[in-house]
Amino acid sequence: MSRILTPDICVIGAGSGGLSVAAAAAAFGVDTVLIEQGEMGGDCLNYGCVPSKALIAAGKAAYHAGHGAGFGVSVPRVDVDFAAVNDHIREVIAGIAPHDSQERFEGLGVTVIRAPARFQDPRTVLAGDAQVRARRFVVATGSSPLVPPIPGLASVPYHTNETIFTLRTCPEHLLVIGGGPIGLELAQAHRRLGARVTVIEAARAMPREDPELAAIVLERLRGEGVEIVEGATVTAVSGTAGAIRLTIAEGGGDGEAAREIEGTHLLLAAGRKANVEGLGLEEAGIAFDRRGITVGADLRSSNRRVYAIGDVAGGPQFTHVAGYHAGIVIRALLFRLPAKEDRDILPRVTFTDPEIGHVGLSADEARSRFGANRVRVLEAAFAGNDRARAERRADGLVRLVAGRGGRILGASVVGAGAGEMTNLLSLIVARKLTARDLAGFVSPYPSLAEAVRRAAISYYADSARNPWIRRAVRVLARFG
pLDDT tens profile 166-200: 999 999 999 999 999 999 999 999 999 999 999 99
Which residues contact residue 36 at a Cβ distance below 8 angstroms, ignoring those fewer than 6 apart? 13, 14, 18, 42, 112, 113, 114
**Residue 142 to residues 16, 17, 190, 272: CA-CA distances in angstroms?**
9, 9, 26, 10
pLDDT above 90: percentage of residues in the chain: 92
Q: How confident is the model at residue 467 (pLDDT cuts 50, 70, 90)?
A: confident
User: For the chain, how are helix, strand and coil distributed in percent, rounded to 5?
Assistant: 40, 25, 35
Q: Is the dihedral of CA 200, 202, 208, 211 positive or negative?
A: positive
For the cut 90, the answer to whether the pLDDT of residue 460 exceeds it is no
The CA distance from 422 to 428, in Å, is 10
The CA distance from 422 to 464, in Å, is 30
For the chain, how big is the Rg over CA atoms in Å? 25
For the cut 70, the answer to whether the pLDDT of residue 25 exceeds it is yes
The CA distance from 476 to 147, in Å, is 69
Looking at residue 383, its pLDDT comes to: 96
Which residues contact residue 422 at a Cβ distance below 8 angstroms, ignoring those fewer than 6 apart? 347, 349, 357, 358, 359, 411, 413
Q: Is the dihedral of CA 28, 32, 38, 42 positive or negative?
A: negative
Q: Check if the beta carbon of residue 301 is closer than 8 Å to that of residue 293.
A: yes
Which is nearest to 186 in space by CA: 200, 196, 176?
Answer: 176
Looking at residue 223, its pLDDT comes to: 97
Tell me, what DSSP letter sits at residue 244?
E
The CA distance from 37 to 35, in Å, is 7
356 vs 255 pLDDT, higher one:
356
Beta-carbon count within 10 A of 228 CB: 20
Average pLDDT, the chain: 95
Looking at residue 347, its pLDDT comes to: 97
Residues of the chain with CATH 3.50.50.60: 3-145+273-343, 153-270
Q: How confident is the model at residue 466 (pLDDT cuts 50, 70, 90)?
A: low
The CA distance from 235 to 248, in Å, is 5
Q: What CATH number does domain 3-145+273-343 carry, 3.40.30.10, 3.40.50.300, 3.50.50.60, 2.30.130.10? A: 3.50.50.60
Which residues contact residue 210 at a Cβ distance below 8 angstroms, ignoring those fewer than 6 apart? 358, 362, 399, 412
Q: Check if the beta carbon of residue 439 is closer than 8 Å to that of residue 456.
A: yes
Looking at residue 461, its pLDDT comes to: 76
For the cut 80, the answer to whether the pLDDT of residue 473 exceeds it is no
For the cut 90, the answer to whether the pLDDT of residue 131 exceeds it is yes
Q: How confident is the model at residue 469 (pLDDT cuts 50, 70, 90)?
A: low
For the cut 80, the answer to whether the pLDDT of residue 457 exceeds it is yes
Q: Does the bond joining 354 to the residue before it have cis omega, within 30 degrees of 0?
A: yes
For the cut 80, the answer to whether the pLDDT of residue 368 exceeds it is yes
Looking at residue 250, its pLDDT comes to: 85
Q: How confident is the model at residue 471 (pLDDT cuts 50, 70, 90)?
A: confident
* Cα within 13 Å of Cα(375), Cβ side: 19
Q: What is the CATH number of domain 153-270?
A: 3.50.50.60
The CA distance from 166 to 257, in Å, is 36
Looking at residue 255, its pLDDT comes to: 52
**Mean pLDDT in residue range 111-123:** 97
**Residue 92 to residues 52, 57, 58, 166, 188: CA-CA distances in angstroms?**
11, 11, 12, 14, 20
Which residues contact residue 67 at a Cβ distance below 8 angstroms, ignoring those fewer than 6 apart? none
Q: Check if the beta carbon of residue 98 is closer than 8 Å to that of residue 104.
A: yes
- Chain centroid offset of residue 237 CA: 28
For the cut 80, the answer to whether the pLDDT of residue 254 exceeds it is no
Length in residues, the chain: 480
For the cut 80, the answer to whether the pLDDT of residue 462 exceeds it is no
**Mean pLDDT in residue range 193-215:** 97
The CA distance from 406 to 434, in Å, is 5
**Mean pLDDT in residue range 239-249:** 96
Q: Check if the beta carbon of residue 31 is closer than 8 Å to that of residue 9.
A: yes
**Residue 402 to residues 55, 236, 377, 410, 438: CA-CA distances in angstroms?**
37, 46, 6, 7, 12
Give the global pTM: 0.94
Burial class (CB in 10 A: 0-12, 13-18, 19+), 315: buried
- The 10s digit of each residue's pLDDT in 27-40 is 999 999 999 999 99
Query: Has domain 354-465 been given CATH number 1.10.110.30?
Result: no
Looking at residue 475, its pLDDT comes to: 73
3-state secondary structure of 465: helix
Name the H helices within 318-466. Answer: 319-335, 363-370, 386-390, 418-430, 435-439, 450-457
DSSP labels, 389-405: HHTT----EEEEEE-GG
Query: What SS3 string covers 128-193?
Result: CCEEECCCEEEECCCEEECCCCCCCHHHCCCECCCCHHHCCCCCCEEEEECCCHHHHHHHHHHHHC
Q: Which residues pair with 176 in a beta bridge?
A: 199, 267
- The 10s digit of each residue's pLDDT in 33-92 is 999 999 999 999 999 999 999 999 999 999 999 999 999 999 989 999 999 999 999 999
The CA distance from 147 to 270, in Å, is 7
C-alpha dihedral, 134 to 138 to 144 to 149, nearest 10°:
80
